């Protein structure tokens, strides 16, 4: 883990009137490219540096995004000293989320970090403490909470449509979808497999829909049965590195909350299911239930059982509009003082649930969540 640096910047409370919000990218791989495309649509943002240990990715930052060589670094500590950005956007593997965020916050920089927030709750707490100490904004890249489906159901919840929400079931399932790039199959760098990679998204937006109740206990199990073996089955992402595959293929978990509600989650890279991609949560409340996938609400009206579906909810999509919305939310919070959608505290709550499921799987019993 890199040592902490403490480089003082200008007052982080400044309103950025008449100037650009200067952002440095730490980790210049695939997700960073999606972020950079979103930043292109924000005239108030200037990309001032790129940090990566891979020279080929720094070459992309130079040739595709026009950064000069003096703005390219292998070490984020050196970048913080020389560039002094207003904010950093951390797009590294999960195991390298905590250190650069803490260093950036100590340097007076606002921070955006990709999901999951870190490897464990202890790292999340360090990140939150650094942001609070230095009075900077820390946001986590949970774009699905900005999805029009999520915001529509949260609005219905706020209007009292569901009443007490008792049970939520989440699914983030792939029939055969092991990433054949990056380090997604390496537990020591990622912290886990599908549960922490794709399950985290549906878990976070479902938790936000529930009103963010406090998790108190978790149970679950994980299985690895195909990902660590060679495969001849045809699929869209073949030839992943099975020799370094140390994560689960399938994870099942249950979270119990302080208010008595229950959440169940299923997540897989490999599972014998009908469809290749399933991403949804369903909920049961005292007054109504719902499905996130089609934004349907199931309730009773005029003496009848009624299913309601909207004719139009919005047009954002996960790989375009949602990245723009989540990054704009962070930029506006930093420059205008508007509320953060996905704060460090939201990231910590999700990390506690993920950690609980993995600990339960390892211990073979329900575990408490502090």
Q: What's the pLDDT at 314? A: 81
Residues 255 and 263: their CA atoms lie apart, in Å, by 5
Assess whether 185 and 310 both reside in one domain: yes
Assess whether 183 and 165 both reside in one domain: yes
Residues in the chain: 370
Assess whether 91 and 240 both reside in one domain: no
Any domain includes 5: no
Q: What tens digit of pLDDT does each residue of 184-227 get?
A: 999 999 999 999 999 999 999 999 999 999 999 999 999 999 99
Q: Give how many domains the chain has, as a whole number.
A: 2
Assess whether 217 and 194 both reside in one domain: yes
Assess whether 95 and 167 both reside in one domain: no
Q: What's the pLDDT at 129? A: 98
- CATH code where residue 62 lies: 3.40.50.720
Q: What's the pLDDT at 18? A: 60
Q: How far is CA 202 from the centre of its chain?
A: 10
Half-sphere exposure of 214 (CA within 13 A, CB side): 6
Reported pTM? 0.92
Any domain includes 16: no
Assess whether 291 and 305 both reside in one domain: yes
Any domain includes 13: no
- CATH code where residue 357 lies: 3.30.360.10
Closest CA to 293 of 181, 190, 196, 202: 202
Rounded to the nearest integer, the mean pLDDT of the chain is: 94
Assess whether 198 and 111 both reside in one domain: no
Any domain includes 344: no
Overall average pLDDT of the 57-61 stretch: 97
List the beta strands (DSSP E) in the chain. 21-26, 45-51, 72-73, 87-90, 110-114, 138-141, 165-174, 215-223, 250-257, 262-268, 277-285, 288-291, 296-301, 304-308, 367-368
Print the domain residue range for 283: 148-315+349-368
Q: What's the pLDDT at 320? A: 62
Task: Tell me how crowded residue 82 is: count the other CB atoms within 10 A of its CB.
Answer: 12
Any domain includes 59: yes
Any domain includes 122: yes
Assess whether 98 and 136 both reside in one domain: yes
Q: What's the pLDDT at 4? A: 33
The two three-digit tokens of residue 56, written as one number: 């080929």
How large a percentage of the chain has pLDDT more than 90?
92
Assess whether 135 and 152 both reside in one domain: no
Assess whether 267 and 154 both reside in one domain: yes
Assess whether 261 and 168 both reside in one domain: yes
Any domain includes 60: yes
Assess whether 300 and 249 both reside in one domain: yes
Is pLDDT above 90 for 228? yes
The two three-digit tokens of residue 260, written as one number: 């008595």
Q: What's the pLDDT at 155? A: 97
- Given a contact cutoff of 8 angstroms between Cβ atoms, the answer to whether 193 and 251 are in contact is yes
- Between the two ends of the chain, the Cα-to-Cα distance in Å is 25
Q: What tens digit of pLDDT does each residue of 151-167 get?
A: 999 999 999 999 999 99
Is pLDDT above 80 for 319? no
- Given a contact cutoff of 8 angstroms between Cβ atoms, the answer to whether 121 and 351 are in contact is yes
- Given a contact cutoff of 8 angstroms between Cβ atoms, the answer to whether 116 and 351 are in contact is yes
Any domain includes 50: yes
Residues 119 and 97: their CA atoms lie apart, in Å, by 8
């Amino acid at each position: 883990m890199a040592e902490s640096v403490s480089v003082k910047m200008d007052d982080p409370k400044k309103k950025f009137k008449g100037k650009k919000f200067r952002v440095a990218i730490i980790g210049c791989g695939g997700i960073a490219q999606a972020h950079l495309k979103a930043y292109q649509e924000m005239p108030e943002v200037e990309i001032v540096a790129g940090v990566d240990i891979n020279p080929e990715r720094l070459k992309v930052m130079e040739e595709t995004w026009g950064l000069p060589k003096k703005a390219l670094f292998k070490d984020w500590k050196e970048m913080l000293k020389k560039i002094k950005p207003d904010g950093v956007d951390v797009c590294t593997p999960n195991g390298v989320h905590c250190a650069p965020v803490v260093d950036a916050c100590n340097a007076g920089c606002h921070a955006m970090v990709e999901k999951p927030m870190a490897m464990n709750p202890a790292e999340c707490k360090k990140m939150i403490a650094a942001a609070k100490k230095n009075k900077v904004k820390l946001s986590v890249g949970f774009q699905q909470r900005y999805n029009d489906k999520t915001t529509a159901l949260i609005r219905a919840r706020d209007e009292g449509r569901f009443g007490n929400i008792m049970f939520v079931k989440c699914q983030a399932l792939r029939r055969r979808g092991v990433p054949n790039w990056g380090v997604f199959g390496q537990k020591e760098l990622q912290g886990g497999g599908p549960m922490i990679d794709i399950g985290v998204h549906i878990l976070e937006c479902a938790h936000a829909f529930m009103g963010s109740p406090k998790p108190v206990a978790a149970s679950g199990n994980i299985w690895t049965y195909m990902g660590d073996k060679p495969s001849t089955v045809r699929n869209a992402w073949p030839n992943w590195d099975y020799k370094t595959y140390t994560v689960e293929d399938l994870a099942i978990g249950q979270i119990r909350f302080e208010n008595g509600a229950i959440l169940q989650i299923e997540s897989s890279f490999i599972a014998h299911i009908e469809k290749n991609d399933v991403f949804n949560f369903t909920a049961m409340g005292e007054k109504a239930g719902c499905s996130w996938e089609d934004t349907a609400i199931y309730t009773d009206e005029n003496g009848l059982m009624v299913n309601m579906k909207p004719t139009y909810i919005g047009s954002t999509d996960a790989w375009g509009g949602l990245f723009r919305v989540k990054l704009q939310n962070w930029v506006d919070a930093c420059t205008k003082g508007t509320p953060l959608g996905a704060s460090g505290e939201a990231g910590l709550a999700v990390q506690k649930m993920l950690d609980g499921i993995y600990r339960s799987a390892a211990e073979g019993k329900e575990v408490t969540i502090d």
